[in-house]
Amino acid sequence: MPITGRGWELHVERLGQHRKDGRQRTYGRYVVTIDGVPKPMLHGFMLEAIGPGDNSRENNGLRVEAGRYALTTHFRSFVSVGYSTNTDGEPPLPAIRLLHTVARTGILIHPAHPPADKLYLASVGCLNPVSALAPSESADFWDSRSRVIALLDSLRAFRPEAFVESVPTSIADATIVIDGEPSAFLES
């Protein structure tokens, strides 16, 4: 599903799946475009649960289905404004929420985070932005966190009115486009 070239779009292209010591995850790349123009500092890779994508059942342990989803601010244990700035990675952590995910709820873009086992994949349905990783590598919390904050900063510059109050607010003309349902495992 290609981007439309209108508004703020986070395009995720799923590349395949990783596995290490019995753990598995989906690995893809992302780029942000505004009105079809790629933003040079807003690109990297994305970690998700394994597939196939399934939005029909809650808590199914799988990644969200490929598709286009509107975005909103979020304010619970992960937040879009007022996230922790301490050096221990304490909550609340920064996040953006996907809307219209059918039976799935709380699907977020948030950092891979401590404890250490969560740094391989910190998500069930959610998405964790990261630097390039081999199948055997874990994410770096600070890198992942800075990537989520960069996405939030870009969204805030694009639609500042969505970030005025600490209540969930739809971000007009902002979407995530997720392509692919790969099942093959990528090798190192």
At 64-103, the pLDDT tens digits run 999 999 999 999 989 999 998 876 778 899 999 999 999 9
Domain that holds residue 106: 8-179
Coil, helix or strand for 15? strand
With respect to residue 141, please indicate whether it lies within any of the assigned structural domains.
Answer: yes
Is the residue at 184 inside a domain?
no
Q: Does residue 2 lie in a domain region?
A: no
CA 137 to chain centre: 18
Q: Would you say residue 148 has pLDDT above 90?
A: yes
Q: Is 151 helix (H, G, I), strand (E, B) or coil?
A: helix
pLDDT recorded at residue 87: 67
- Is residue 188 over pLDDT 80? no
Domain-embedded: residue 172: yes
Q: Is residue 3 part of a domain?
A: no
pLDDT tens digit string along 108-147?
A: 999 998 888 889 999 888 999 999 999 999 999 999 999 9
21-37 pLDDT tens trace: 999 999 999 999 999 99
DSSP 110-133: ----SSGGGGT---SS-BEEES--
Question: What was the pLDDT predicted at 50?
Answer: 95
Name the DSSP letter for residue 162. G
* 1: pLDDT strictly greater than 80: no
Does 187 map to a domain?
no
pLDDT tier for residue 187 given thresholds of 50, 70 and 90? confident
Which residues touch 117 (CB under 8 Å, ≥6 apart)?
Answer: none
The predicted model scores a pTM of 0.96
Number of domains in the chain: 1
Asked if pLDDT for residue 164 goes beyond 70, the answer is yes
Residue 43: inside a domain:
yes
Residue 55, pLDDT above cutoff 80: yes
Alpha carbon 130 to chain centroid, angstroms: 9
Residue 30 is assigned to a structural domain of this protein: yes
